[in-house]
Amino acid sequence: MAIYCKDNKANREAKNMTQGYVIYRTDTTEIVSEKDYSYTGQIHKTEGHAKASLTRIKKKFAEGLKNKRPYGTFKFEGLGIYENGKTGRQAEGELTGEMIDMKIINTDTYFNNIEAQEEVTNMMTGKKFKQSVNTPGFMSPSSETYWSM
């Protein structure tokens, strides 16, 4: 039996808003934010605000790529495509300078039709359940951080 866990702060706030916009990765459907660890800053009040945020993310990626030191990292490195055509943990080689595709969409459509669910295992019970791909580690029963707080 799968348990549906989709209750993080960003999701609750999105449901309470009349209309908002998010930027999401088309490959994983994860929400992208230009702010560090900001779950409230991921939801933009207007489409124009979301477009401006996406422009800033792209500029920061290009700037970080240009100034990157060997074996160093920069904030938006995870949005880059590597030589083997992958991102994140599957990436190998150097960054190509290209970014993954990102789109802007309203919150209703995103949370109802686009946001993916991932199946994870509860650390304490060993039971599998589904949660949003946007669930932070400290709010997921599949994470050691969740159980140590």
Per-residue pLDDT tens over the stretch 72-125: 556 677 788 888 777 776 777 777 888 889 999 999 999 999 999 999 999 999
Residue 28 clears pLDDT 70, i.e. is over it: yes
Give pTM, 2 decimals.
Answer: 0.76
Residue corresponding to tokens 């459509």? 109
Residue 2 clears pLDDT 50, i.e. is over it: no
Q: How many residues does the chain have?
A: 149
Q: Comparing C-alpha atoms, which of 48, 133, 63 is closest to residue 99?
A: 63
Q: Identify the domain containing residue 13 by its residue range.
A: 4-148
User: Into how many domains does the chain fold?
Assistant: 1
Greater pLDDT, 143 or 73? 143
3-state secondary structure of 89: helix
